[in-house]
Chain A
Amino acid sequence: MQALTNRSKLASNKKMSFMERIYLPAIVNGMMITIGHFFRKKATINYPEQTREFSKIYRGQHVLKRDEQGRERCTACGLCAVACPAEAITMISAERKPGEEHLYREEKYAAIYEIDMLRCIFCGDCEEACPKEAIFLTDRIVASQYERKPFVYGKDILVEPLDLSLRIDISARQTESVLKFKQNKRFAHNK
């Protein structure tokens, strides 16, 4: 059989030479290796104080975007729920009442919008399916919990804050080329 790498060594039952039999040179050799590692830079980082740099297009906790005037973009079409391979997304739609125009952009909106973070596989299909540019994955990490229930995130967690300074920046994910790709009906999922 051909070896995949040239690093593998053949095991053999040949008689050990005297130097091999007294083990000591091999032991000293091994100890040199371990002491070399002793002074090496550590691979671990001090996690809560330091964090590793995330990729700009990291797929973490979702956000439901608002538009420039602070209205929710989501129109509860359900395409994200359909696209979701893990069936993590559920929603109940409602009709916009007169006087609620400053809250919701379209006539229909999601009264309840829930993502089960334990089911979610963070594939980003919901984001790709969304025709209203409403849902995005961000570089935030889903916090750990002691029970299952709190992992079902509702609108209170998912919708971004009204305050313009507190909006979640998704410009790294939604570049020009991404937008173009989504609008091209030939490639996009939501043709």
Chain B
Amino acid sequence: MDWTLYIYKTIFLLIIVLVTLVVAMYSTYGERKVAAFMQDRRGPNRAGIFGLLQPLADGVKMFMKEEIIPLTANRKLFILGPSIAMTTAMLTGVVIPWGGTITIGGREFSMQIADLNIGILYVFAMVSIGVYGIMIGGWASNNKYALLGSIRAASQMISYELAMGMSIIALILTTGTLSLNEIVAQQHGMHWNVFYQPLGFLIFLICAFAETNRAPFDLPECETELIGGYHTEYSSMKLGFYLFAEYINMFISSAVIATLYFGGYNMPFIDQLGLSQNLLAFLGTFFFFMKIFFLIFLFMWVRWTLPRFRYDQLMDLGWKKLMPLAIFNILATGAFYYFTELK
């Protein structure tokens, strides 16, 4: 038994879970601040300095709220819904390489929980299961608005997952591997995939917005039409779980986008710095998080800029625009490599 590896992995896992939760927590704060700033307001600034304790206050509020399960709701499924949403959201972070390798006492440890050779497929699988959380929650609520919200979520997920998968196929054509670790390693220097796959990146980004149910694709929630959509009947921490899962999803999708298209923990001119390998690994992680935070900001920026799509426009965009574009992207990429034989 390799105990040092087990201990290292356990500690690393705990750190990642903690970081994920804290980032998701402060994303709620960031969301409100960004929204406020873009609307010429100040945002939360009462709890602590600059309102930094606001997420804690919100959490306490959520826990203190009365727990209501409607009489007509299916109790088991009603509880299962938010649990699935939260669990799958947390699970996706496993395959993401958070940094390079660090050396402790002559041994090399990679800053990745599990280097699956089908990393991308794993991410897709988890995201697809995530929609069950919303579907089950909406169905179990026994409420027409919740049901409408979950139906919308399901059809939206299916429509956009196709285009997303197609854009990834083009990416895999260029990288030749499904392992996220290798994809990042290939992007060393400034060979970021976004320069090789700009169209694929755009499709992936749009689909990521749709997959995380963020505006302008937040039709499953849709406060104005569906009074909250799938979580209409939820209260207390179950509602908190749904809202929290959304922010975790946002964080993880930002991490995935940064990994696939923006070189992950790679940063330009890293070889010229001449620092020790451990320091470089931590610097890379820092740089990776900067990329993630920028992408999270982009998510928020878009949310507070664009109005929500109408439902037929959503389907129109998904099936008639993104799908053909993604297929064209695959063909173009394939033709390029077939005729030029670059790889």
Contacts and interface: CB of A to CB of B under 8 A. Distances in A.
Interface string A43-54: 110100000000
Interface string B166-196: 0000000000000000000000000000000
Interface residues of A, number: 13
A40 interface: yes
A31 interface: yes
Nearest to A43: B40
Interface stretch (B229-237, B257-265, B275-283, B302-310): B302-310
A31 B301 contact: yes
A183 interface: no
Question: Which DSSP category, helix, strand, loop or mixed, fits chain B's interface?
Answer: loop
Contacts of A31: 301-302, 305
Contacts, number: 34
A43 B39 CA distance: 9
A27 B39 CA distance: 17
Contacts of A30: 305-306
Question: Which DSSP category, helix, strand, loop or mixed, fits chain A's interface?
Answer: helix
A76 to B, nearest CB: 46
A34 B35 CA distance: 10
Nearest to B317: A23
Nearest to A22: B321
B38 A38 contact: yes
Interface centre among A33, A37, A43, by most chain B C-beta atoms within 10 angstroms, is A37
Given A31-B305, A42-B42, A43-B40, 9 more contacts: A31-B302, A34-B304, A34-B305, A35-B38, A37-B37, A42-B40, A43-B41, A44-B40, A46-B45
18 contacts: A27-B302, A30-B305, A30-B306, A31-B301, A34-B38, A34-B301, A35-B301, A37-B37, A37-B38, A37-B39, A38-B34, A38-B37, A38-B38, A42-B42, A43-B40, A44-B41, A46-B42, A46-B45
